[in-house]
A and B are shown apart, each in its own frame.
Chain A
Amino acid sequence: MRTLRWLRSTAASAVVAVAALGVLGGGQAAAQGKQLTLCWAAWDPANALVELGKDFTKQSGIEMKYEFVPWTSYADRFLNELNSHGKLCDLIIGDSQWIGGAAENKWYVKLNDFFDKEKISMDDFVPATVVGYSQWPKNTPNYWALPAMADAVGWTYRMDWFSRPEIQSAFKAKYGRDLAPPKTYDELKQIAEFFQGREIDGKKVYGAYIFTERGSEGITMGVTNVLYNYGFAYDNPKKPYQMQGIVNSADAAKGLEFYKELYKCCTAPGMTNAYMQEGLDAFKSGQVAMQMNWFAFFPGLYKDPNVGGDKIGFFVNPAGPKGHFTQLGGQGISVVATSDRKDDALAYIKWFAQPAVQQKWWQIGGYSALKAVVDAPDFPKSAAFAPQFLESMGIVKDFWAEPSYAQLLLDMQKRVHDYVVADKGTAQQALDLLVKDWTKVFKEQGKEVASQ
């Protein structure tokens, strides 16, 4: 009898437990209906976005979930997700070079109708970011993303070292000019040579930090800053995809040689496979006088207790003999076509595009591309690096954004790393081989590639 009673009570408890689980499950399902997943890279601005997103949740009741992946596997991870039509991301802040493939493969929702309906005008955003992050085909009014995070390559330097009288006088004695942030790459190399191996505060320091990473995009994102300014272009503006004599021009080869010289003369030992994080580490540990890196990291560096504040200075990518450009970074925010919550995702974009939200975005560590924010009279004074950022966004150039960008990028990674780090062949040979590689890729893509 007792056993029977025990069985009955156990069964009743089980029913109650199952019912409770059901209710909880149901509740979770309801909450999931009001949840959006945003995918991006794991870096400083992503933390700022989490902070910003709390306002969206407060206003809309939609919970934000984030999927942040380190830069080195960011492209692999999310392109795989998009390729496989996965449902992990409702919103994605995809790299600028993905836009062609994302549009052609219909991974992103086209936003033209939404922009028209919500009166979001692309004229309100910095033109370079609209072309770089939103449009495909480029320079046509077809929008696949809202410019979310404006970015470019810039430089930081140790202002405290530059301002020391003994260093200044030693520099002037050697080069006959004042030590100041460089305006040209020749000046930069001089300064880097000057600091290389010098002892400061009892510690050996090095001249410059530049990108050399092999696996993803590092060395390409570094070398292009020099190549553009030495006359390199991706193709003939009058004949699209005609690369012979443009990509591998004598000027471009000189630019590549210069990057190698800079790497050999003035970087810290062991920087053979280094990208953003290694640069930050080198600068924060007081190892280098100047650092190439993305503006996205500059708010964090400015706040650093050891090297930030009045110890750090910023300058725009220096000019070269053939021009003054810098590498575009940054991303646009898009709605993933396979998402089940497209309406909520669009609501997020509508909220994100508001001037007040963009203003806050800039204030907490993101980089707004909204003209109302960056063209405001007080913007240059709003942060120590704001004037350089503003100037940089006016001179940006981007890598190919074709659907085949990944192949084009990896080919360039290989050819440049082979020459710069592995000492294989000459600069001219490296660029000749690059033209050969890229021609093959474009032909596979069905493009007509003129040889001359």
Chain B
Amino acid sequence: MTTILQPDHATMPGVSTPAKSRDARRVRGLSDRAIAWLFVAPTIALLLAINIFPLIWMIRLSFTNLNLSMSYLPLRFVGLDNFRDILTDEDVWVRLQTTAQFVISSVVLQVVVGFGLALLINRQFRGHSFWTTIILLPMMLSPAVVGNFWTLLLQPQIGPFNHLISLFTGVPPSSFSMTGQVALAPWTIVLVDTWMWAPYVMLICLAGLRSIPDYIYEAAEVDRASAWRQFWSITLPMTVPFLMLAVLFRAIENFKMFDMVNLLTSGGPGSTTELVSISLKRAAFEKWRTGYSSALAIILFVTVFGAANIYVKTLNKVKQR
């Protein structure tokens, strides 16, 4: 028979009994709940100060005519005028279309390339770790570095990209400009973004592929399912939730895309690659139209928030299936 010895709290030094703890709390006048709040309060205060307060302030400003370059003008409440101006401005709709085209093209391409890379990397081969590191390098770089780096690569006279194209097609390297031509610039920003972020999609897909138990493939082998059939019936369906997650992350990020595109094209040629985030930055910090840009930021926030919510609900349904 085993005897379990219970420690005697009352006699152990430094260990208080429940009765003593209660007394201590009473002395300090703090309940468990209050102590919990005490610990959480700094985080909540910080969150309120850097997130919630600016958001409320921005909502307030969006109903005013505030222009910081003319702050001497009286601040007027203009109701929904800023929202009406934005929603009836043809240019804003064009910028939204440009953004949508960029988001869709780049995310589709990144998913295809990322998933393909994940399928390759998922196999064991010589130099596997080395190639994985090489593939992951672009996403470790800062977008500012990527923007400047690709600006040089794409320079029509000295950049290697045009010379490479010339090598395969015979087109003179300086006869086209990837960032300066209306037909090419939108694809250039998609290309560079895919180069940078396809590895990220690859990582997520790799996690999905590695989560598929081997016995499912073994069962398929027993049933003599072809590799193609295994891909369509096992690999793809079981990685769909991961792919959808990757799409969500990349779509939100690309909707906010600013730095890389700003460095590559500054929104040009003309306004060909002017994404809505570039418009927002110009309105807020170059034209100083604070009221107008606050309203635009709210519209974008609601759009992303709404779309993301719908998407997450769909993702949950897919997971449940």
Contacts and interface: CB of A to CB of B under 8 A. Distances in A.
A273 B266 CA distance: 8
Interface of A: 75-76, 79-80, 83, 101, 104-106, 213-215, 268-273, 287, 403-407, 410, 414, 417-419, 421-424, 444-446
11 contacts: A104-B70, A213-B266, A214-B266, A215-B262, A270-B157, A270-B174, A272-B177, A272-B180, A406-B288, A422-B270, A424-B270
A270 B172 CA distance: 13
Contacts of B62: none
A105 B155 contact: no
A79 B71 CA distance: 13
B180 A270 contact: yes
A154 to B, nearest CB: 25
A287 B156 CA distance: 13
Interface stretch (B107-115, B227-235, B279-287): B279-287
5 A-B pairs with least C-beta separation: A422-B270, A272-B180, A418-B270, A270-B156, A215-B266
B254 interface: no
Nearest to B285: A76
A210 B288 CA distance: 29
A421 to B, nearest CB: 4
In this complex, the member of A101, A422, A445 whose beta carbon has the largest number of chain B beta carbons within 10 angstroms is: A422
Interface majority SS on B: helix, strand, loop or mixed? loop
B71 A214 contact: no
Contacts of A106: 72
B157 A214 contact: no
Given A406-B69, A421-B180, A272 B157 contact: no
A318 B42 CA distance: 65
B268 A422 contact: yes
B157 A269 contact: yes
Given A83-B68, A214-B266, A269-B175, A422 B288 contact: no
In this complex, the member of A213, A269, A271 whose beta carbon has the largest number of chain B beta carbons within 10 angstroms is: A269
A414 B271 contact: yes
A75 B71 CA distance: 17
A364 B319 CA distance: 71
Interface residues of B, number: 34
A18 B105 CA distance: 60
In this complex, the member of A104, A272, A424, A445 whose beta carbon has the largest number of chain B beta carbons within 10 angstroms is: A272
B265 A273 contact: yes
Contacts of A446: 73
Given A214-B269, A417-B269, A418-B270, 6 more contacts: A79-B288, A106-B72, A214-B265, A270-B156, A406-B287, A422-B270
A423 B269 CA distance: 9
Interface majority SS on A: helix, strand, loop or mixed? loop
A417 B271 CA distance: 8
Contacts of B267: 214-215
B269 A76 contact: no
B286 A410 contact: yes
A101 B272 contact: no
Contacts of A80: 285
Contacts of B271: 414, 417-418, 422
A422 B272 CA distance: 8
Contacts of A213: 266
Interface in B149-191: 155-157, 174-177, 179-182
Contacts of A105: 69-72
B70 A269 contact: no
B69 A83 contact: yes
A444 B288 contact: no
Nearest to B159: A270
Nearest to B272: A422
A104 B72 contact: yes
Interface in B24-74: 65, 67-73
B156 A269 contact: yes
A255 B156 CA distance: 28
Contacts of A403: 69-70, 72
B256 interface: no
Contacts of B286: 75-76, 406, 410
Nearest to B274: A414
Contacts of A76: 285-286
B162 to A, nearest CB: 9
Contacts of B179: 270, 272-273
A414 B268 CA distance: 9
A376 to B, nearest CB: 39
Nearest to B268: A214
A83 B71 contact: yes
B143 to A, nearest CB: 16
Contact of A410 (B268, B269, B282): B282
A407 B270 contact: no
A405 B286 CA distance: 10
Nearest to A437: B91
A272 B268 contact: yes
Contacts of A419: 270
Nearest to A282: B157
B69 A421 contact: no
Contacts of A406: 69, 286-288
Contact of B269 (A101, A421, A444): A421
A75 to B, nearest CB: 8
Nearest to A104: B72
Nearest to B68: A83
B319 to A, nearest CB: 43
A152 to B, nearest CB: 24
A269 B172 CA distance: 11
